[in-house]
Amino acid sequence: MSNKSTLTKRILVAGFRGFYRNRTVSLSSIFILTITLSIISSFYLSRAIFDYTLGQIREKVDVRVYFTTDATENQISDVKAKLLGLSQVKSVTYTSKETALSSFKEKHSGDQLTLQALDELGTNPFGASLSVIAKDTSQYESIATALSSGSGLLGDSSGAVDKINYYQLKDSIDKLNNIIGWIDTVGFWISVVFILMSCMIVYNTIRLAIFVYRDEIAVMKLVGASNMFIRGPFIVEALLYALVATIFSLTFFFFATIWVAKKTVFFFEGLNLHLYFTQHIFSLAGLLLLSGAVLAVISSLLAVRKYLKV
């Protein structure tokens, strides 16, 4: 046990010493790794903006259930309750016939002929309606199918439903779903390409750093040092690179998001990027530290492998 403890202590000391002694090499490795982690942070925050924007779009897409003018409040309440019981439904908003009439008059306030024709009717021609928002835009079709007369969901209240406007909006909803799917796919592959490029850059940088130690590694092999003892200090250095690069990246984005939040306060109404960053800083820090450690350690092990002849 004491031999293992001594070996571990020597590896840690050698790792810290190498990190400090070769400051130029360490700084260059940290710089490249910081850029890599900054790219990951950018994608993390870009995803938040993308999700928020899509959420705003989804909130504006709805399916309306229009009722007949003689539909009772009990029938409308029954349909609303059954809609809320569907797993695909996020929310249901009720609009009374009086509100519908008032909105129509306000919308056509400058059209006297239309308002005059409406007054001559003597009654309210509008029925109440329910605005249905799905949890995902791809679920509107299943909601419309559930509301169809043949499904049996509405029961005795089915006669109160005049029409559902899903089929008038179907083309627009399908286009939105296609756009969302396309953006997700493109975003995924762009992320993969950037991560692979970053891996290659980090690997080559650390390989050049370890090249400086090639003679020392050869001597250590000649005197019988184990592969683990030789690898150990480089693993410690790699972990230090990841730690410092994570701190630098988080510090940069802390101040960068303050500036971005001020510039986009009106454009992204309701989304404060700096507030989002501070609320998720621990999860982002964990992601960056893990990503940096994996990149740096694997790069170090691959780079030193050449000189170990294993």
**23 or 297: which leads in pLDDT:** 297
- CATH number of the domain at 149, please: 3.30.70.3040
Top-ranked range on mean pLDDT: pick from 75-79, 151-155, 229-233, 306-310 = 75-79
Lowest mean pLDDT among 36-40, 114-118, 299-303: 114-118
Whether 80 and 111 map to the same domain: the answer is yes
**DSSP-assigned letter for residue 167:** H
Domain that residue 259 falls in: 2-57+177-308
Q: Select from 147, 171, 195 the last residue of a domain.
A: 171
Q: Select from 137, 171, 205 the last residue of a domain.
A: 171
Structure tokens that stand for 109 in this block: 């306030």
Top-ranked range on mean pLDDT: pick from 17-31, 131-145, 158-172 = 131-145
Q: pLDDT band at residue 283, thresholds of 50, 70 and 90?
A: very high
The gap from C-alpha 66 to its chain's centroid, in whole angstroms, comes to 35
Q: What is the pLDDT of residue 169?
A: 64
Whether 302 and 181 map to the same domain: the answer is yes
% residues pLDDT > 70 (the chain): 86
% residues pLDDT > 90 (the chain): 6
Whether 184 and 36 map to the same domain: the answer is yes
Residue 93 has pLDDT above 50, yes or no: yes
For the chain, report the end-to-end CA distance as a whole number of angstroms: 27
Q: What is the pLDDT of residue 309?
A: 63
Q: What is the mean pLDDT of residues 247-269?
A: 82
Give φ, ψ of 224 to 5 degrees.
95, 15
Q: What angle do CA 148, 149, 151 make, to 5 degrees?
A: 70
Whether 53 and 67 map to the same domain: the answer is no
Q: pLDDT band at residue 265, thresholds of 50, 70 and 90?
A: low
Q: Select from 132, 153, 171 the last residue of a domain.
A: 171
Average per-residue pLDDT for the chain? 78
pTM of the model: 0.64
- For the chain, the domain total comes to 2
Q: What is the mean pLDDT of residues 54-73?
A: 78
* CB atoms near residue 189 (< 10 Å): 10
Whether 141 and 107 map to the same domain: the answer is yes
Q: What is the pLDDT of residue 2?
A: 56
pLDDT, tens digit (0-9, with 9 covering 90-100), for 174-198: 777 777 778 778 777 877 777 777 6
CB 229 within 8 A of CB 294: no
Whether 214 and 159 map to the same domain: the answer is no
Whether 69 and 32 map to the same domain: the answer is no
Listing DSSP states for 82-111 in one string gives HHHTSTTEEEEEEE-HHHHHHHHHHHTTT-
